[in-house]
A = this chain, B = another copy of it.
Amino acid sequence: MSHPNAEPRARLSRDRVLEAAITLADAAGIESLTMRKLGVELGVEAMSLYRYVAHKSDLLDGMIDTVFREIDVPSGTDWRVAMRGRAESVRAVLSRHRWATGLMESRTTPGPANLRHHDAVLGVLRSAGFSIAMAAHAYSALDSYIYGFALQEPSLPFHSDEETAQAVQAIMGRFASGQYPHLTEIAVEHVLKPGYDYGDEFAFGLDLILDGLEHALHAS
């Protein structure tokens, strides 16, 4: 009985560290993810984490790839269904982990889950008859749109009706009325209508791109 009432304290592991880091970033934002706080979360000193992580940016890389593992790998013969499903899945995952999109910019070494995911995307497109060049175009267009939407969504204050109203007031109130007439118009007559949800905009742009790709596929 070397440790009197010491609960066994589950062993650390890279996955446990990554998991805890993601939980912490989800809850408090990426900027408040520090090695020390992560240590506290795991009941461990900060330096102990370096047994599982080479440095903080290795931790971030690992977090990103863990997030990618949450995304459904697309498959199936109907490319539209597959691409739409994957788009929704990416968006759902990125909105669960709002810090992830902004981080992608700085990480240049894709992890295995990321590679597997994108390999599957290309596989679906190629099987559907897209040429190599067209598959590359489609890949780029879809990813740009999805990531861009995910990047903007959390920074927009449109998450509930009252919150939206307050945010619009806060922004518009800073300026002379009439200074931004079109923003005002859209705020008053569109965004402030009850039931408005910015997330609904996602489908519109996605369909635009899918329609365009379908057209390009048949034209070739």
Contact = CB atoms under 8 A, between A and B. Distances in A.
Contact of A155 (B104, B119, B182): B104
A143 B148 contact: yes
A146 to B, nearest CB: 7
Chain A contact surface mostly: helix
Contacts of A7: none
Interface in A69-122: 98, 101-110, 112, 115-116, 118-120, 122
A114 B175 CA distance: 13
Contact of A151 (B109, B119, B147): B147
Interface of A: 31, 98, 101-110, 112, 115-116, 118-120, 122-123, 126, 132-133, 135-137, 139-141, 143-149, 151-152, 154-155, 157, 171, 175, 180-183, 185-186, 189-191, 198, 201, 204-205, 207-209, 211-213, 216
